Structure 1
């Protein structure tokens, strides 16, 4: 009876030891029913899903700053009248394409022609008076040479000649101004582009200096973007950008940073950046709202690991030849997507744990299962 009791106790102890051993094995839920026996040296083999590891590879990575803004035309011109008059002919409409020199607006020139005629007559009168003054001066000089005319009479004749010379020059300038006014009654396109707006209709009185047209070049666009000051610090002229519609519809545009406003908005704490759209604008129009990113840094051929892979300061967990080991590395610059650059005895193709695992010590056997 005593022998049976001792044998039963031994079997219970063996069963308890086996249950304790299998409880130390960590398996994914899909493999919870799998029993993993100890390996030859007595250590428990740890099961790790392939989804919990990754293969080291060299990567090219970029750091970007988000950007959004409105497309504006580089060349946008407000055309204004330079003389007053009634609009007679307004042949161009918004949306029309024009070339330099094309007629935009003709003003009634009746008043301008009268002014021109008056200035022309005034010039002719001044020129006639000037001829009389020149002849009078010649006569006074001849009389003064014979001792007949006084010196004061000669001085008066010279002064009158100078006055009439000045009057003639003024009359000539006024005639040029009248001629220019006539020419300005025809308003032509100063640039080649598209009519964006028109504020005058035939028969309307147009004032001197009144804006009548807005023109722009739709093929030469800039993105005007407002960026938080903290992001603008890393942006430099010449950096490239990728732009598109907010919903990622339509083709993407390539751009380059052209200018950066040196002054920061004191209220919004933001800076304005202008990006030059490269190549074909692909149908985008001024006023379109675009979003994208500016590439502030790019590096290639880096060993990058998820920041979560660092077991502790300066170490990563590697699985090699079925064993777990901790490798000391030097962590470098942090990159987007929570990646960290590392250097050390890690090679392309090494298998590393994505996250530290409790109870896993250096030298423990590991078995990878499942799809990566």
Structure 2
């Protein structure tokens, strides 16, 4: 082939590969931009727990002689759960009782002396000074009785505190002590789940707007038997993410107490969370421009294509959600967008609202 024909052939190939506005309109799918609230659905699984948990401990230290409750036991209000060795408390109570008896006897004697001197002074057989001294002795004796009574009550309370009773009715969910163990004051020995209200405990990923779900009604059902559906209200969302699991604690109070679920029952639920307003486009609409995500916007008047960078909120299996970069009512190329170039005329063969 001569050099002249070679140059002519190359020129023809380059001309055919260059964009030409003279080419006919490209048929494309057109999508009208409509911003909508994006909804994220979370499938939740968790367990039923008591809404109120009561930790129990002794007010004073001592050696445990009896602990009469196990995990899972039902306990009644006032039921004895554990006892400490009462030897020292009994000794203190005995000493306080003796002190109270002595103070009472002293008061009786001081009252008798005072009454006798009152009569003598009235008859002129004794002096006013003697009566005043007797009155002071009587007041001191009364103070001694008051102090001894307080000490006796304190000793009696200390003896009563050797016995741990259930302050509420419910179910024992934890026991962390054994007979013979020395318990410290305030050390939790038994935990009781108060009967009545129940809550579902879930652990969820830290998705946006999760903290705004407090008060939202959800439905849950047992994983063991999903035939019954229970209504619940989200009552608590932890403010911090658990660093070990990367999740947030979420609790929902179960409304129906007449059909209470057993503690530990596995349950499931579904939570829908509305996030920022986005535009949902088919995956075919997404292209790249200067290394960033972009779409082709079709001008309403000229029907020519313009590349536009956008920000992506999230992907799904067959679509992409755009959060920024598009205006309400604009038209975006869907299927066929990969054949567009700047200024290429396009014609809609289908329009999605």
TM-score, normalised via structure 2 length: 0.58
SS in 1 for 2:251: strand
Q: Is the 8 A contact 2:103 2:144 kept in 1?
A: yes
1:357 equivalent in structure 2: 339
Instruction: Note closer, same or farther for the CA distance 1:155–1:242 as it changes in structure 2 (3 Å cut).
Output: same
1:213 equivalent in structure 2: 190
Q: CA deviation at 1:222?
A: 5.3
Gaps of 5+ in 2: 1-8
1:343 paired with 2:323, answer no
2-structure distance, mates of 1:43, 1:272: 55
Instruction: Note closer, same or farther for the CA distance 1:92–1:145 as it changes in structure 2 (3 Å cut).
Output: same
Over alpha carbons, which structure has the higher Rg?
1
CA displacement 1:133-154 (0-9 Å, x = unmatched): 1121122233333444333322
Matches within 5 A, 1:246-325: 256=234, 258=236, 275-279=250-254, 285=264, 295=273, 297=275, 304-305=280-281, 309=285, 316-317=297-298, 325=303
SS in 1 for 2:172: strand
1:169 equivalent in structure 2: 146
1:62 equivalent in structure 2: 38
Gaps of 5+ in 1: 1-15, 27-41, 245-249
CA displacement 1:291-348 (0-9 Å, x = unmatched): x98836376xx864369848999972399xxxx93589x99997543423742266xx
SS in 2 for 1:343: coil
1:123 equivalent in structure 2: 100
2-structure distance, mates of 1:296, 1:219: 27
Q: CA deviation at 1:272?
A: 10
Q: Is the 8 A contact 1:239 1:295 kept in 2?
A: no
Q: Is the 8 A contact 1:196 1:214 kept in 2?
A: yes
2:3 equivalent in structure 1: none
1-structure distance, mates of 2:135, 2:63: 47
1:238 equivalent in structure 2: 214
In the alignment of these two chains, the number of paired residues is 304
Instruction: Note closer, same or farther for the CA distance 1:130–1:314 as it changes in structure 2 (3 Å cut).
Output: same
Instruction: Note closer, same or farther for the CA distance 1:366–1:108 as it changes in structure 2 (3 Å cut).
Output: closer
Q: CA deviation at 1:277?
A: 1.9
SS in 1 for 2:126: coil
Q: CA deviation at 1:105?
A: 0.9
Q: Is the 8 A contact 2:34 2:328 kept in 1?
A: no
Q: CA deviation at 1:100?
A: 3.4
TM-score, normalised via structure 1 length: 0.56
* Two-structure CA RMSD over aligned residues (Å): 5.7
Q: Is the 8 A contact 2:30 2:349 kept in 1?
A: no
1-structure distance, mates of 2:304, 2:215: 40
Q: CA deviation at 1:177?
A: 2.2
Q: Is the 8 A contact 2:172 2:190 kept in 1?
A: yes
Instruction: Note closer, same or farther for the CA distance 1:239–1:355 as it changes in structure 2 (3 Å cut).
Output: farther
SS in 2 for 1:220: strand
Q: Is the 8 A contact 2:279 2:321 kept in 1?
A: no
Instruction: Note closer, same or farther for the CA distance 1:279–1:219 as it changes in structure 2 (3 Å cut).
Output: closer
Q: CA deviation at 1:187?
A: 0.9
2:69 equivalent in structure 1: 92
